[in-house]
Amino acid sequence: MTTREPAGYEADQRRDDLSAYARYLAAMDASMRQKVALTAAHLLCEGRVADMGMGSGQGSAALAQLYPRLEVIGVDIDPTVVELARRAHQHPNLGFQLGDIAAPVFPPESLDGVFDSSVLHHVTSYGGYRHANAADALAAQVQQLAPGGVLVVRDFVDPGPGQVLLDVPGDDGDDGPDPRSASTAALLERFAGEFRSLSAEPGFPLARVDLEPPGALPAPRPGWRRYRLAHKHAAEFVLRKDYRADWEAEVKEEYTYFSQAQFEALFARLGLRVLSSTPLRNPWIVRNRFAGRFDLRDTSGARLPYPPTNYLIVGEKVKAGQGVAFRLRAAEGGAQQFLRIEHHQDRVTGRVFDLAARPHPTLDIVPFFFAGETAYVLARTSYPRPIAHACREETPPLDGSGPADYLAEPLAVVQTEFPVGHTVERTLERAAGVPPAAIHRMIPGTTYYPSPGGILEEVRSMLVEVEPTFVNAPSDNVSGFSTSGRIRAIEARQLLRAAQVGGLPDARLELNVYDLLARFGLPFGPWIGDEIPLAEAR
């Protein structure tokens, strides 16, 4: 048996598969890296995954290259596209299949993952703009998922009802009919007459706002024009206003068909537990196509945020009888008995601060192992955390992400009077089926404070090297709910990439993975998020 030593020890530093991974990732453009990271964050290390409507097959090939333990199958309805993809991308764990993504392609419960990337709006647009087509397609895909499998949808999202004011330049082109040379304002007026051009009645209402009482609203910029239209139509326009070379094809499609709330409700009806629901804003698009290119306001003149450039929702198929979401209600009965509440008063101001604390210390256990040069961690995924739901209802996230009812996290346990080693051994055997004999060593990890403003809690972590095990099994019932999540092996850098693009709501697992890789002198992998400019110290 061989184990890897932390940095500073004599250790094998070969990086064959890691450098290959870095090369694969560097060869992708930023959009593809984001797609892969957001998708793979919720996929198993092993299993069968269908990339629905794969088009060129580039995304399918990227998943297959980066995750050789996955069997990736690209699906498309066009036989020519399928044949071209087969010729262009050949890997032992990659295949392509002809099929309609809106109908059953695989046997029931035969897939561990389904990925729909910017494809469902084609199902609605070329199906009479019937939004229910997307729901029907997702229902068919859920039937092909095995319990515990995940459905990942990356597409556009309807911003919701209501009217808005959209200011756009009228002096950045001409007023002619050619979309390639028209000003943005002229293009918007054209778009209002031909949006959803395949329907019997294309277009939508658009009103130019010319005269307003002085001071009633902020005036448009010089040379710009103001229009009143539905929020949805404003989003549809700004998302495609720069695709002028293929304008006639673009106006056939309706990008947005469900709002975020509608997506989440549909997933619940289909028996999917929402693991992530996040509007995405591509930083490059925001900088180069949104900022300074239009102004979006509500009808009172208040600025509105830029519309999401994409939206991601991930659902896990649950067994019959298991819950898919939490509903909060007032507590019944007497006061809780588990948490301890302390009250502290500022002697100067008299202000009272409340602190909640557990009666015992908290220990985060992070089992890990190496397969070749690749580090894996055993994480508890889809673990119910109603407190996270409550916090988000009280203070909605700035990024508009949806409920985080079920999280990916370390194995969190209460440290009682028993020795730490005893707690670790007992937890791993119960939760992950890892016997004490399979534990190589325990390495004290980092210490952190989850919420120093309101919770009196210091959490310590323990990094535990174990025998390689690509476990994917239900956790023992420790949550008090119908599920306690699953214990599964996840490639360590996969978790970091997911966190970099907003796919990992809880930070504790991310923090421990950075600590783990640093201790063993392993590279973190390429940063795939947006660049973060840092001001130089003076």
- What angle is formed at CA 156 by the lines to CA 154 and CA 160, rounded to 5 degrees? 135
Full pLDDT tens readout for the chain, 538 residues: 445 554 432 232 222 344 554 554 455 556 666 666 666 666 666 789 999 998 888 889 988 887 788 899 999 999 998 999 999 999 999 999 999 999 999 999 999 999 998 899 999 999 999 999 999 999 999 999 999 899 999 999 999 999 999 999 999 999 998 999 999 999 999 999 999 999 999 999 999 998 766 667 888 999 999 999 999 999 999 999 999 999 999 999 999 999 999 999 999 999 999 888 889 888 889 999 999 999 999 999 999 999 999 999 999 998 887 778 777 777 676 655 677 788 889 999 999 988 887 778 889 999 999 988 889 999 888 788 777 777 777 777 777 887 678 888 899 888 888 899 999 999 998 888 899 999 999 999 999 887 766 677 789 999 999 999 876 666 666 667 777 778 888 889 888 887 876 677 778 999 999 999 999 999 888 776 666 676 676 6
Tell the CATH superfamily of the 38-158+257-281+309-317 domain: Vaccinia Virus protein VP39 (3.40.50.150)
| 151 in Cβ contact with 142 (< 8 Å) | yes
**Structure-block tokens of residue 298:** 């509500």
Domain residue ranges of the chain, discontinuous segments joined by +: 38-158+257-281+309-317, 163-250, 340-519
366 contacts: CB under 8 Å, gap ≥ 6: 377, 378, 410, 411, 445, 461, 462, 463, 464, 509, 512, 513, 516
Query: What is the DSSP code string of 366-435?
Result: EEEEEETTEEEEEEEEEEE-HHHHHHHHHS--TT------EEEE-EEEE--SS-HHHHHHHHHHHHH---
Residue 534 sits at the vertex; the CA angle it makes with 528 and 536, to the nearest 5 degrees, is: 150
Contact at 8 Å (CB) between 254 and 130?
no
Are the C-beta atoms of residues 511 and 519 closer than 8 Å to each other?
Answer: no
Separation of alpha carbons 1 and 378, rounded Å: 20
Provide CB contacts within 8 A for 394, sequence distance 6+.
none
Do 274 and 145 meet the contact criterion of CB atoms below 8 Å apart? no
pTM: 0.84
Asked if the domains at 38-158+257-281+309-317 and 340-519 fall in one CATH topology, the answer is no
- The CATH H-level (homologous superfamily) assignment of domain 340-519 is Nucleoside Triphosphate Pyrophosphohydrolase (3.90.79.10)
267: helix, coil or strand?
helix
Burial class from Cβ neighbours inside 10 Å (0-12, 13-18, 19+) for residue 420 reads middle
Q: How far is CA 351 from CA 294, 345, 347, 455, in A?
A: 46, 6, 8, 17
Half-sphere exposure of 339 (CA within 13 A, CB side): 12
Work out whether the CA dihedral 498, 500, 505, 507 comes out positive or negative.
positive
Encoded tokens for 311: 């939206």
Helix crossing, 58-66 with 30-40: angle to 10°? 60
Contact between residue 362 and residue 412 where contact means Cβ atoms under 8 Å apart: yes
The alpha-helical segments, DSSP class H, found in 131-230 are 132-144, 184-194
DSSP string, 225-260: EEEEEEHHHHHHHHHHTT--TTHHHHTT------BH
